[in-house]
Every structure is written in structure tokens, then in C-alpha cells.
Amino acid sequence: MGSLLKILIYFYLCTGVQGSIHRIPWLACQFTDELVSLNSEGHIVTQLVSREAMLQFGQNGDAPVNPQAITFLITGSKLDLRKHLEGVEVEQLECMLRRYSTEGIHVRWPVQGAQGYNHWYTATLKHSKGLFTITGFLRQPSDQPAPGQQDYHSWPAIADREILTTTVAMVIKSQTPSLKAGLRSQQKLHCLFDVDHRGPNISVEWHQQRRGERTKLFSHTSRTGQTEGAGVAVKALERGDASYTLPFTKMSSEGTYICSVSVIPLFTSVDINLQIEEPPRVSINVGPVLTLQDGGEQKVVCEADSYYPLDVEIVWYEQDPSASSQRVGAPLPKVLQNILLSSHKHNQDSTYTVSAFFYLQASLKASGRQFTCSVSHQSLRMPIRKSFILRVEEPGSWMFTLLVGFVLVSLLVVLVVMLHQLHLGRRKMIEKKPY
């Protein structure tokens, strides 16, 4: 791309004109070309070559935005990739272009004016923050068949500045390419598709890939009306909604889900990665205030229970609450170093439990200190914290309390005995009186 063109494009983007994708009719893309050849041993070797390309929306005969790059000119059809990108900033998009092989299958694409032969390409648009993935099939009509098989064995050459006039024939989209879910929740795996003509013969399938095993969850063929499995509303397929519903997630729900859509000679799929994340339940074995005698010892335990996946971090802090209330120069909490960790416990529901504990030696100078357990886990936006205040009392105060208690109990016993003797004396006096 020439330096002048780069300056113009940068200025165009910085002026805020791009807004939504409807305000800018092109995207800079990476075209991964494939050079196929035979090596000396007669084996097929494919070399991937990255080439500069532009995805340009317009009409047949439009001048290329970047004459130095390969231009994939998308002309009008029933499908418009840009309607799936409303409100998205151009710099948030990643555009990738590739050739597509029909594996030697020749089918006249059933739209008005379509020719017998087509060259196929895929345009994949991904959001930089993983909000969606869109793949569109670009059809380049041709009145001449390619020599030999019309697949990767005989790709037609594409010149550096060539303009390829195409239309969008099929689209597949997912708004949940990566999904995190807690246990026992309902999740919808988003998968939409659209085709540029009515009544296509469509096959839809869902698979789950987990630990090397591939399991079919659902399949439907519009030509026969045959349906296997559940999780997809068959009526919704008529409007292009192939979303799959998981009613109750469990640990075995984790894995990669593949939504596949086939309209001969095209086949496409989108992967959805589902990861289970269960936040820990945090507790400590002491109350808000722990009272100890000077010199006493207490085992203090912080437990993180029923979390997934495995990695969790538990840190104990000590600080003076009165000092931390200072606006300026407040000391940072001190990380305790004498912390011991228990072994991880594997629960029946495949979650984990672990505890971090230490032995607290009570001293008068530590009285009033706050001790905080902080638990961090990837399922948490902020760490969970549990705290308690240490109160330390002198041994003398305990002796005084015991002495006062002993004196009070003794006085109470003496009083009871005296009242009992008094009662007996009065009864004897009444018995001695003459009638």
C-alpha cells in the first residue's frame, strides 16, 4: 500500500467517519493464498502465502480503493455482510480471506443469472474482543470451467492487483464464539445462517468435541425432514436460527461445540468454546472478633470450597485498621509468610476445595490488628475477602474475672445455706408452741 494511500486511510479513520460499518465500504484484509505443488517424492505440498487484499462493497465496475492490493469486490445480493456489523468500529474487526475448494463438486448455484461454474472464497470477520465470528462465502461466477478438478489441485492464479467481482452466497455467524458458564445454568450457543436463495436444501448438525472424542448432538436435513437429537428448535431453522440450548450445564458440558451448515457444494462450521467456571465459596473458622489471652495460640483456617477450574490463590494479610484509615501515608497490608496449604480435595461434582491456614500467636501489641483472607480465581472479577479483628487480653484480667466469679458464687452458696437454716429454725419454733 502506498504511503499516500496509508495517510488518506488513517485520516479517514481518525475523523470518525467510519462509525458503523455502513459508513465505510471497505475493509483491509489478509488474503492467505495457497500454492499447491508436488515435491520430488510425488506428494502434494501446500505453501501458504499472505497477500495484501481489500474487501470492498460496491457495484460492478467500481474502481478499487487500493489499486496496489487484490480487491474482492462484493456486489449487491440478498445477503449483506455489513448488516451483521452494525455499531462495530472498523478497528475492532479482523478480516481474513481464503480460497474455498468444493472438492470437485460442480453444482449450478440456484440464483437468477448464475453461471454454471464458480470460484469460491471465504471471508471471515472476527471481533477483536471475541464478541462474534462471521464467515461469508463469496461466489465469483465463471463461464469457463477450471482445467482439471475445480479444487485446490488447480487454483486459478490471482494477480497482485486483480479485481475479483463476487457476491455473498451464504453466511454463518455466532455471537458466542467463546462462552464461560457456571454449573447448573442454562446456556444458549448462538448460531445463525443465511443463504441467498429460497428453499435451499440445508443440513444442520451440532457436535461436541471433548478430550479427543466427538459426539453428535443434533442433526436435521430439510430435504427429508429427518431430525435426530434435541437442543435446536426445528421451526427456528426456517428463519436461519440453528442455536443450540444447554438446559443444565455440568462438568461434562465443557468442550468445543461445532455448528455445521451444509448447502451443496458449500460446507461451513463455527466453533464455540464452552468453559465451565464455578466461583469458590470462601469461609474462615473464626468469628468477626477473635479474643485470645496473651501468649495463647489459635489455628486460623481460610477455606475456598467448590470452585473450578483448579487454579486458585489464597493470601493472608495483616494490617492495623486505625493506620489504614489515614488519608496520606497509610501503610500497606502486610502479607503473612507462614501460611500452609492443604492438599486439593476433589469433590464429587468435580469441583475443588483447598484451605490456607496459619497458627496465630497472640500478643498484646497485636491486639486490634485485622487479619484478612483474600481468595482470587479466574471466575471472580474481584477477590473474595473475609476478615476478623484480634483482641488480646492480659492473663491478670482473667484471674480477676475468675476471682470475682468465685467470690460471687461463694456468697450465693452462703446465702442459700443461711436461708435454709433460717427456714428450719422457724419450723422448729412453730412445732414447740402449745395448743
Round to whole Å and give the CA distance between 266 and 190.
21
Residue 358, all three cell numbers: 496459619
Does residue 430 register a pLDDT over 80?
Answer: no
Round to whole Å and give the CA distance between 285 and 357.
10
Q: What is the pLDDT of residues 214-266, one digit of tens each?
A: 999 999 999 999 999 999 999 999 999 999 999 999 999 999 999 999 999 99
Does residue 18 register a pLDDT over 70?
Answer: no
Whose grid coordinates read 496496489?
68
Angle at 122 between CA 118 and CA 123, to 5 degrees: 135
**Residue 17 neighbours by CB under 8 Å, 6+ apart:** 23, 24
Does residue 395 register a pLDDT over 90?
Answer: no
Structural domain of residue 144, as residue ranges?
Answer: 1-169
Same domain, 35 and 113: yes
Polymer length in residues for the chain = 435
Residue 288: its pLDDT value, please?
95
Give the helix/strand (H/E) hosting 304: strand 297-307
Whose grid coordinates read 484478612?
372
Q: Is residue 4 part of a domain?
A: yes
Residue 321: its pLDDT value, please?
82
Does residue 351 register a pLDDT over 70?
Answer: yes
If one counts the domains in the chain, the total is: 3
Q: Is residue 24 part of a domain?
A: yes
Does residue 96 register a pLDDT over 80?
Answer: yes
Q: How many CA atoms lie within 13 A of 277 on its CB side?
A: 15
Q: In sequence order, which ranges of 157-271 are alpha helices (DSSP H)?
A: 234-237
Q: Is residue 427 part of a domain?
A: no
Q: What is the pLDDT of residues 61-74, one digit of tens each?
A: 999 999 999 999 99
Residue 16: its pLDDT value, please?
41
Q: Is residue 186 part of a domain?
A: yes
Whose grid coordinates read 442459700?
416
Chain mean pLDDT for the chain:
87
Does residue 22 register a pLDDT over 90?
Answer: no
Give the helix/strand (H/E) hosting 324: helix 321-324
Residue 193, all three cell numbers: 445462517
User: 191, 237 in Cβ contact below 8 A?
Assistant: no
Residue 19: its pLDDT value, please?
42
Q: In sequence order, which ranges of 168-262 are alpha helices (DSSP H)?
A: 234-237
Identify the domain boundary among 139, 154, 169. Answer: 169
Whose grid coordinates read 412453730?
430
Percent above pLDDT 70 for the chain? 85
Of 143 and 183, more confident: 183
Angle at 124 between CA 106 and CA 208, to 5 degrees: 85
Q: Is residue 286 part of a domain?
A: yes
Same domain, 129 and 3: yes
pLDDT band at 323 (very low <50, low <70, confident <90, very high): low
Residue 151: its pLDDT value, please?
56
Same domain, 270 and 384: no
Same domain, 262 and 117: no
Does residue 39 register a pLDDT over 70?
Answer: yes
Does residue 24 register a pLDDT over 70?
Answer: no
Residue 134: name the closest of 119, 123, 144, 149 by CA. Answer: 123
Beta bridge partners of 72: 55, 164
Does residue 117 register a pLDDT over 70?
Answer: yes
Identify the domain boundary among 276, 307, 336. Answer: 276
Q: What are all long-range contacts of 396-404, with beta carbons under 8 Å and residues at least 24 apart?
A: 398/293
Round to whole Å and give the CA distance between 324 and 326.
5
Round to whole Å and give the CA distance between 90 and 65.
16
Round to whole Å and give the CA distance between 254 and 249.
8
pLDDT mean over 199-214:
94
Q: What is the pLDDT of residues 269-310, one digit of tens each?
A: 999 999 999 999 999 999 999 999 999 999 999 999 999 999
> How far out from the chain centre does Cα 8 lie?
37
User: 30, 1 in Cβ contact below 8 A?
Assistant: no
Same domain, 4 and 146: yes
Round to whole Å and give the CA distance between 6 and 27.
13
Same domain, 107 and 87: yes
Does residue 97 register a pLDDT over 80?
Answer: yes
Does residue 433 register a pLDDT over 70?
Answer: no
Looking at residue 237, which CATH number applies to its domain?
2.60.40.10
Of 3 and 98, more confident: 98
* Segment among 46-55, 127-136, 419-428 with least mean pLDDT: 419-428
Residue 361: its pLDDT value, please?
94
Residue 9: its pLDDT value, please?
46
Q: Is residue 162 part of a domain?
A: yes
Residue 280: its pLDDT value, please?
97
Of 221 and 330, more confident: 221
* Cα separation values, 433 from 424, 429, 430, Å: 15, 7, 6
Round to whole Å and give the CA distance between 118 and 266.
12
Percent above pLDDT 90 for the chain? 64
Same domain, 128 and 185: no
Report the predicted TM-score, pTM, of the whole model to 2 decimal places.
Answer: 0.79
Eight-class DSSP state of 115:
-
Residue 397: its pLDDT value, please?
56
Same domain, 207 and 356: no
Round to whole Å and give the CA distance between 97 and 140.
14
